[in-house]
Structure 1
């Protein structure tokens, strides 16, 4: 396993800075790009705080951890990001001497599949107040992933959506794009409440800041999925709607559907229109052409969440913490300069 000194040499930063970033020192002020550089080097060099504690873990009792996701089975299959996050958590829990238990979602209520004492919970997704009350019935030791409800009470690990969207839009701008559109869909809870999509929110704010926001270039389906990406863009083309020169898509699965619709209409990516997705699921590198997308470091998110939960269970973390994990843009083959008119 790598040492802090090796990470410092790999990044050209001091051991002190590396240590403070990896230990989430909130008093340290460094750019997000520097943090990502350290996180990326830590992953590449196999620096894992959880693995470093293997000897200690062997002496500790095996903890029973509930992994619960807000998303339905259909939504997890529609967006493999959540499936990857779930399996990554299970894998990392196993390395950390934790026994994982999944919960069955029955009409919005969560049912345990086995009768066992729960030591802690990793909750994936965005939960409404009624659901939060259900979670507290299982355990008070909860760490949320992908959302941060009740920040004064619970710890959370979330991607830096603002940074990810900013990197995508700035890349479009650097290529010369000024007509930039958004493809997304509604995020609806179990009680049919509309949930804010942070990617859409950040997209609008950023384009307004640059003075290039145009609602004409918004394309929204009923859900954020492959099927809705395909259907939404195909219908827009068939109705004669003007397309922008670049599209930022809410996730990779939806971007794949968008690219299929464009291909069927003989619109070439990237020569006619540029595309950027979000999440960097494994299949993006095998799309035709390979998709430029915003990467979320799921392995590091899982490590942060598990370590935070362990500290919460062991009463080593007095105050809840909100860990915001930097994203980075992975440039592949779906972006080019806009065609000259």
Structure 2
């Protein structure tokens, strides 16, 4: 009786689907090398007649990639969010034996050799996108939605996460909620980036009939910016200072916390703080910050996977949006 895929699956201790995809050289399948080797060995041992020895996947054509970070190397040290994304890219690249060139502050003039793909991290103007596209057809944007321009994009879900934060405060009977959000421009100054957290916050508060523009303060995503902005809010609002603040990233939130502590405003007894990104910084302060956990490493690894898929075969652009999770710590109180 001829050996079937079911026989191989049983002997190898894996699913029938896994056997089928491995024996058909499906490189998109996430399975370890040891498992692949075991399946092929079992197939040969059982004299599976359709067995073919694996050929090198077409993705091996990709050898060198560049990571183009919009931050300078020094700035990246101050914002662990973008560093974590880059580390995710490098980790996955190492798994696929890809050589990686790092380019900081979008300085693509530093590229002195041909590369097979580019992964960008951060925000880029239309002119910068066009310039990057001249380097390679294999281009993936992380944390910048360039899907409409025809490029793969890896993004974070802002709408649901911000709505969850607002709803959490609401459930704690904290309906006067302030916001510290960020404003940025691309390195060439040609594009001003609106903070999607502001838009999501405005929509969520409006749904509760509680949006107040005077409780929303713009900053620059830095620790010092958060500190100065919260000091301004304390001075401007006085006794009307909200009982809760959502802050758009961890550096600004730590600065805001410092300003509250200097003003002898108790956190979370008088003001609760909820941050965004959940980098290690959120746990380095006292009280530790509640924060929206963003899958930064997964954003990086997903970008590499998209790059390899496109190198393997042409396809339409993909827009991948990753979910988030609320992490509760001591800067917020629960009823």
Describe the superposition over 1:215-235 as per-residue Cα deviations: whole angstroms up to 9, x where unpaired.
1211222x1110010111123
Cα separation, 1, equivalents of 2:329 and 2:308: 38
Matched with 2:137 is 140
Show the 5 A alignment for 1:180-199. Answer: 180-192=177-189, 193-199=191-197
1:335 counterpart (317, 332, 335): 332
CA distance in 1, matches of 2:201, 2:107: 33
CA distance in 2, matches of 1:89, 1:303: 5
Does the C-alpha gap of structure 1 residues 290 and 51 become closer, same or farther in structure 2, counting only changes over 3 Å? farther
Contact 2:70–2:104 (Cα < 8 Å) also in 1: no
Q: Provide the residue aligned with 1:19 in structure 2.
A: none
Whether 1:124 and 2:100 are equivalent positions in the alignment is no
**Other-structure match for 1:214:** 212
Please say if residues 225 and 254 of structure 1, whose CA atoms lie closer than 8 Å, have aligned partners that are also in contact: yes
Give, in whole Å, the separation in 2 of the partners of 1:132 and 1:194. 15
Label 1:93 to 1:251 Cα distance change in 2 as closer, same or farther (>3 A).
same
Give the CA deviation at 1:147.
1.4
Alpha-carbon distance between aligned partners in 2 of 1:203 and 1:157, rounded to the nearest angstrom: 22
Which of 172, 175, 181 lines up with 1:175 in the alignment? 172
In structure 2, what is the equivalent of residue 98 of structure 1?
Answer: 98
Distance in 2 between residues matched to 1:61 and 1:135, nearest whole Å? 20
Structure 2 residues without counterparts, runs of 5 or longer: 1-15, 18-27, 37-53
Number of residue pairs the alignment of both structures matches: 288
Structure 1 residue 94: Cα displacement: 0.8
Against the structure 1 CA distance between its residues 104 and 267, is the aligned structure 2 distance closer, same or farther, given a 3 Å change threshold? closer
- Write the deviation string for residues 151-188 of structure 1: whole angstroms up to 9, x where unpaired: 36211110101121112111111111110010123212
SS at match of 1:183: strand
1:1-341 alignment to 2 at 5 Å?
Answer: 52=32, 60-61=60-61, 63-105=63-105, 109-113=107-111, 115-151=112-148, 153-192=150-189, 193-221=191-219, 223-241=220-238, 242-315=240-313, 317-336=314-333
Residues 301 and 287 of structure 1: is their aligned pair in 2 closer, same or farther, counting only changes over 3 Å? same
Check whether the contact 2:62–2:308 (CA below 8 A) recurs between aligned residues: no
CA deviation profile, 1:191-218 (whole Å, cap 9, x unmatched): 4332111111111111111100011211
Residue 7 (structure 2) aligns with: none
Structure 1 residues 121-130 or 146-155, which shifts more? 146-155
Task: Give the alignment's Cα RMSD to 1 decimal.
Answer: 2.5
Residue 240 of structure 1 and its aligned partner are, at CA, apart by 5.0
Higher Cα radius of gyration: 2
Matches of 1:90 and 1:199, distance apart in 2: 28
Structure 1 gap ranges (5+): 1-14, 17-47
